[in-house]
């Protein structure tokens, strides 16, 4: 787990992202975390409200959600058009849980369901759901939810104006796209070489260890240093 006692500003590095979408230029466009959350690209075209981020194991999908998108939103919240942000770990979603049970379990305790539901429905266009780890959901996770289901958020049948960003591994992408239509795919490349070296310099105090890590140029080594 990420050590929450660290000064995130001193160690956080944005992952390098590439958006696979046909723009006017017919080229693949690179994005920052801020671009992705705002759903805009360099030539000001709008991205669809629903985005699926695809990355290999250890590429930084969870880091992107928790320390990238959520962190940037908290830091720049006043400038964002997102007023409500829900970060959900899909591996913790229990079978048959509705959205409010998931929020109660992972985010907010004691919030009246009726009040929260009304707030969400009245402000759907200013809500963002960051759903980490579709590839880690339990079998038959959708079940039969008592109320509004997370699946209804994913397929846009509830809170259709909200933005949804979900992460998954490549091998689960076909299954996801077959179940949920209309998602813009984004490839998570991971940390650039420049960002890797800079992170090492910030995070690793021992110059000897830093040199060894720089020589290894290992993204997996970097990931271990970052999250353990």
pLDDT one-digit tens code per residue, 86-107: 999 999 998 888 899 999 999 9
Q: What is the pTM of this model?
A: 0.77
Q: Is residue 82 part of a domain?
A: yes
Distances (CA, A) of 80 to 17, 85, 115, 124, 193: 20, 11, 23, 15, 29
Q: Is residue 123 part of a domain?
A: yes
Q: Is residue 7 part of a domain?
A: no
Split into its structural domains, the chain has a count of 1
pLDDT score, position 222: 34
Note the pLDDT tens digit of each residue in 51-81. Answer: 999 988 878 888 889 888 888 888 776 567 8
User: Which domain covers residue 52, as residue numbers?
Assistant: 15-190
Q: Is residue 228 part of a domain?
A: no
Q: Is residue 100 part of a domain?
A: yes
pLDDT score, position 90: 93
Residue stretches of the chain with pLDDT short of 50 = 1-6, 19, 22, 206-207, 210, 213, 217-228
pLDDT score, position 26: 59
Q: Answer yes or no: are the C-beta atoms of 70 and 201 closer than 8 Å.
A: no
């Amino acid at each position: 787990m990420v050590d929450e006692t660290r000064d995130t500003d001193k160690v956080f590095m944005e992952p390098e992202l590439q958006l696979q979408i046909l723009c006017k230029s017919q080229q693949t466009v690179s994005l920052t975390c801020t671009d992705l959350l705002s759903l805009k690209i360099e030539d000001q075209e709008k991205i669809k409200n629903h985005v699926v981020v695809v990355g290999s194991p250890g590429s930084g999908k969870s880091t992107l959600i928790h320390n990238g998108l959520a962190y940037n939103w908290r830091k720049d919240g006043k400038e964002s058009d997102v007023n409500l942000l829900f970060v959900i770990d899909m591996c913790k979603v229990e079978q048959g849980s509705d959205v409010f049970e998931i929020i109660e379990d992972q985010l907010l305790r004691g919030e009246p369901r009726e009040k929260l539901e009304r707030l969400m429905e009245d402000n759907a266009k200013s809500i963002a759901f960051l759903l980490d780890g579709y590839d880690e959901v339990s079998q038959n996770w959708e079940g039969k939810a008592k109320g509004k289901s997370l699946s209804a958020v994913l397929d846009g049948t509830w809170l259709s104006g909200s933005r949804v960003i979900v992460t998954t591994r490549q091998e689960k992408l076909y299954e996801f796209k077959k179940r949920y239509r209309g998602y813009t795919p984004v490839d998570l490349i991971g940390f650039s070489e420049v960002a890797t070296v800079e992170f090492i310099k910030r995070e690793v105090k021992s110059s000897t260890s830093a040199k060894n890590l720089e020589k290894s140029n290992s993204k997996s080594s970097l990931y271990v240093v970052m999250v353990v």
